[in-house]
Amino acid sequence: MAKTIMTVDDSTSIREMLICTLKQAGYNVIEAVDGRDALTKLNDAKIHMVITDLNMPNVDGIALIEEIRATPAYKFVPIIMLTTESHPEKKVQGKQAGATGWIVKPFEPDQLLAVIKKVIG
Amino acid sequence: MDASDKFAQTYLEEAGELLAELETAVLDLEDDMENPELVNCIFRAMHTIKGSGAMFGFDEIADFAHYVETFLDKIREGELAVSKEIIDLILVSRDEINRMLNALNNVETDEQDRRDEIIKSFAQFADGHSSGLAEESEEPATPSDSPPQRSTKQQKVYRIRFKAGPDLFLHGINPLGLIAELSELGELQAHFLPEYIPHLSDIDPEKCYLAWDMVLNTDVEENAIQDVFIFVLDKSEVQIVNISSAAEEGSGLQPKLGEILINRGDVSSNQVKDALTRLGELLQESGAVSREKINSALSEQNTAKKYRAVSKPTSIRVPAEKLDFLVNIVGELVTTQAQLSQAATGVTSAELLCAVEGIERLSEELRDCVLGIRMLPINTLFSKFKRMVRDLASDLGKEVDFVTEGAETELDKTVIERINDPLVHLIRNCIDHGIETPEERKRMGKPPRGTVTLTATHAEGEVVIRIHDDGNGLDSEAIAAKAFEKGLIESTDNLSESYLFKLIFEPGFSTANSVTDVSGRGVGMDVVKREIDSLRGAIDITSEQGKGTEIILRLPLTLAIIDGLIVSVAKEQYVMPLHCVKECVELTRDDVEKAHGKRIIALRDELVPYIRLREEFSIKSEEHDIEQVVIVETEGTRVGVVIDEIIGEKQAVIKSLAKVFHGVEGISGATIMGDGAVALILDVAQLVRTACRREEAMYH
């Protein structure tokens, strides 16, 4: 059965790119525009993985990761964060919050899929 | 519109919206300069413009936005206070980005200048503060960007110890996935180390207590292995050591204690192995190391061994004398084994007989194996001739194609070395005497280019080499005339072609009309024949006038051992090379009397001349009533050799005779029999030649 991945990003273009890439690779995608949207959409849905941006309005990526990890159902779900070269401290925070791994923007669709494969096989 | 164009379009729309958002926020900020949420909003908009811009190839926008973002970050962090000037500057940069979005693809240089100006202005504000605007990041790049580069280079062996961090699960990491990923890189052996698992009562099910020792045999670089662990490096213990490089460096080091003891003969290698097995047990008992760690070390050793096996050259060079020595020893072994077999014939002990049979089989295998080592492909010889043929042909103004077949055929090294000169001579002859000039060939209706074919094949324990040319063939009349002139024959009548062709192997025979540079330099076909004979080989020639000539060489695979037929005359044993023995028949006194003094026996409907070994070797003893005749065939001639008894077959290791006996006709060497007696090996070809000569003398 196809695995479900939640993508969280406030940038429409990046979201579109993520969704397009993931769907082409055969994953189901749940789309969220920021952390708050993501948390409402999670709502006990069966999710195999979360890909989230860090800088987002409302609930940002770090807070989202902490929230997800605090939810028993998603305690062990892999979370990949989208980071940039210019904010290394964000990555450290994200890791502390419980992120599984990261992808540095900008990235190519192939790199994204390689990381997903690495994390959920 | 393809996917990336679509994304770009989305980005342009998105960036436009973000800029509008940003503008509103900046204008609000002007009224409420202390509001952090507004700064955050502005920052996020700029951040997204930058990040997404870089994603979709808007590098100029991304670069510019990066400066603005970095500056905004300082305000966000409270390092800079918002001022009217700063707000103006943000608005100017917003307009600049807007211009860039609208005027894509036609960037003018003055725009770049303007941008630099804005960046400079930002820099002025930032000046005096801790860091510059364009800080560089040392963070590792995105992991696993592309499948790790599999080079076709060397195989390497890595020792990897991976002790997963306790909170691995809580980060959504499945350590088994990492091991699966590693195994995609090459041959992986993983040993689980259970020693880090606490007692059941102490286990926190959400914690990870797993650890592995792994040995990976792969061709990827260490970086690629690091990449596998990139997400867990800071949470887990990961050690990656390239042990193949260590193994290479270590190979030249001083020998180990065990090796020294073995070399000195103080202990056997088995004893050392035993002790080493116990080493692991000892260490384990003393609690120094766990069983799993020993197992893991053992598997590393195995992989390292395998690695050495594959990465080291698969051949070694050994001086030829060593091989000769080995062949000699094996010869002795075969001899001794024969003695043993003979001694065991009177024994009834099944146990002993079984062992004797085992030794017999093993020594045969060993002999074949050792002789096999001495085998070389004939190719080494063939390839040399190519150039020779080419040069020779052009010297003589002839056009010749040289074709070789069966170059992979293997022959004893000594044989290969010794047939070089004969082959050179034969091939020269083909080109000099055989192949005609192009004009002549055209006149004969042949293609102007002649062909010389050199073929090697295995046949019945022999190697057959054929040298064929499509030249004008042998002229039997010319040969007859020449032989007559040289006194080799007494008349030119009634001689078969095959007999005449053989004459060219007689000493001093040369049919070339003139002495050329190529042939006729004193080395005649007789030398070739003598050399082939001395190799226990045979030479044959067939020819058809105008069509071509073929010379066939039959050579033994090896010179060290022959399969022989043991015969006896007056209780003395002799060995006849089995390859020339055709059959054995009895010779009774009746047969002898019926032949009226002629030494001929009727073999089915053929009359075969025979010789008596007793007479050839001047042995003085009584003839048996019933004698045996061994029919041998060499060079196409059948001759019987009369002996007393046939004893059996034997593999004879050839021992050369002392120099004093080299001139003795009819004997090519000696061998040691099972009982320690010496048996002479008969030179059948020479015996037959002698017999034929004598017979011809009788009839002519």
B448 upstream amide cis, omega within 30 of 0: no
> Taking CA atoms, what residue in B is nearest to A14?
B52
Q: Residue A10 is nearest to which of B48, B69, B143, comparing CB atoms?
A: B48
Instruction: Give the closest of A83, A91, A100 to B172, CB-based.
Output: A100
Domain boundary among B536, B556, B576: B556
B262's tokens:
């073995």
Q: Name the domain boundary from B354, B374, B394.
A: B374
Q: Tell me, yes or no, if B56 comes closer than 8 A to chain A by beta carbon.
A: yes
Per-residue pLDDT band for B630 (boundaries 50, 70, 90) equals: very high
Helices (H) and strands (E) in chain A, counts: 5, 5
pLDDT at position B566 is: 92
The domain tally of chain B equals 5
How does pLDDT run across B117-144, given as a tens digit for each residue?
Answer: 788 777 777 765 544 444 444 444 444 4
Nearest Cβ partner for A106 among B43, B54, B139 = B54
Average pLDDT over residues B538-545: 85
Inter-chain touch B172–A78, beta carbons under 8 Å:
yes
Both tokens assigned to B318:
């050994």
Cβ separation of A16 and B44 shorter than 8 Å? no
CB B518 within 8 A of CB B392: yes
Confidence of residue A51 (pLDDT cuts 50, 70, 90): very high
Contacts of A13 in chain B (CB under 8 A): 7-8, 10-11, 14, 52, 55-56
**Tokens 């105008």 belong to residue:** B546
Q: pLDDT over 90 for what percent of chain B?
A: 3
Mutate to test the interface with B, among A7, A9, A12, A13 (most CBs of B within 10 A): A13
Among B4-8, B167-171, B368-372, B513-517, the range with the most confident prediction by mean pLDDT is: B167-171
- pLDDT confidence tier of residue B53, bands split at 50, 70 and 90: confident
Which residues from A are below 8 Å from B50, CB to CB?
Answer: 84
Beta bridge partners of B573: B568
- Nearest Cβ partner of A105 from B43, B51, B173? B51
CATH number for the domain spanning A80: value is 3.40.50.2300
Tell me which of B272, B289, B310 is where a domain ends.
B310
Cβ within 8 Å, pair B143-A115 = yes
My answer on whether B242 and B295 are in the same domain is: yes
CB contact under 8 A, B144 and A111: yes
Q: ipTM value, please give it.
A: 0.84
- Closest of B650, B646, B635 to residue B688, by C-alpha: B635
DSSP string, B208-257: ---EEEEEEEESS-HHHHHHHTTTTTTTSEEEEEEHHHHHHHHTTSPPPH
Is B96 a domain residue?
yes
Contact B55 A107 (CB under 8 A): yes
pLDDT higher than 50, residue B516: no
Residues B442 and B512 in one domain: yes
Nearest to A13 among B7, B43, B231 (CB): B7
B482 touches chain A (CB under 8 A): no
Same-domain status, B398 and B445: yes
Indicate if B619 and B692 belong to the same structural domain: yes
Whole-number pLDDT of residue B341: 83
Q: What is the reported pLDDT for A79?
A: 93
Distance between CA atoms of B427 and B390, rounded to whole angstroms? 11
B550: domain CATH number? 3.30.565.10
Say how far apart CA A5 and CA A23 lie, in whole Å: 10
Considering the domain architecture, whether residues B412 and B539 belong to the same structural domain is answered as yes
Residue of B142, B170, B206, B228 to mutate for A, most A C-beta atoms under 10 A: B142
Q: Which residues of B touch A57 (CB under 8 A)?
A: 40-41, 44
Is B19 inside a domain boundary?
yes
Total length of chain B: 700
Test B55 with A20 for CB contact under 8 angstroms.
Answer: no
Determine contact, residues B549/B541, Cβ cutoff 8 Å.
yes
Rg (CA), chain B: 46
Across the interface, whether the CB atoms of B56 and A13 are under 8 A apart is answered yes
Question: What residues contact B1, with CB distance under 8 A and at least 6 apart?
Answer: B9
Distances (CA, A) of B72 to B45, B65, B101, B123: 11, 10, 21, 12
Residues of chain A with Cβ-Cβ distance to B51 below 8 Å are 11, 14, 53, 55, 82, 84, 105-106
Q: Do A10 and B66 touch (CB under 8 A)?
A: no
Helix (H) / strand (E) element for B420: namely helix B413-429
Question: In this structure, are residues B506 and B526 in contact, taking their beta carbons and an 8 Å threshold?
Answer: yes
How far apart (Å, rounded) are the C-alpha atoms in residues B113 and B87?
A: 21
- In 3D space, the residue among B586, B637, B636, B581 whose CA is nearest the CA of residue B608 turns out to be B637
The DSSP output letter for B147 is: S
**Number of A–B residue contacts, CB under 8 Å:** 128
**Contact criterion met (CB < 8 Å) for A104 and B52:** no
Describe the strand order of the beta sheet including B572-577 as a list of residue ranges.
Answer: B645-653, B561-569, B572-577, B678-682, B667-672
Asked if B218 and B229 touch (Cβ cutoff 8 Å), the reply is no
Asked if residue B296 and residue B184 are part of one domain, the reply reads: yes
Encode pLDDT of B219-268 as tens digits.
Answer: 888 888 888 888 887 778 888 888 776 555 444 445 567 776 776 667 77
B180 interfacial to chain A (CB closer than 8 Å)? yes
B355 and B478 together in one domain: no
Q: How many domains does chain A have?
A: 1
Q: Which residues of B touch A17 (CB under 8 A)?
A: 7, 55-56
Per the DSSP assignment, residues forming a β-bridge with B377 are B410
Domain that holds residue B174: 156-310
Q: Among B207-211, B220-224, B315-319, B424-428, where is mean pLDDT lowest?
A: B315-319
**Residue A96: which domain range?**
4-120
- Phi, psi dihedral angles at B87 (to 5 degrees): -60, -40
B528 shares its domain with B397? yes
Mutate to test the interface with B, among A3, A10, A11 (most CBs of B within 10 A): A11
Residue B315 falls inside a structural domain: no
Confidence bin at B345 (pLDDT 50/70/90): confident
Cβ neighbours of A10 in B, within 8 Å: 44, 48
pLDDT of residue B80: 81
- Chain A's closest residue to B178, CA to CA, is A118
B532 and B404 co-located in one domain? yes
User: Do B652 and B567 reside in the same domain of the chain?
Assistant: yes
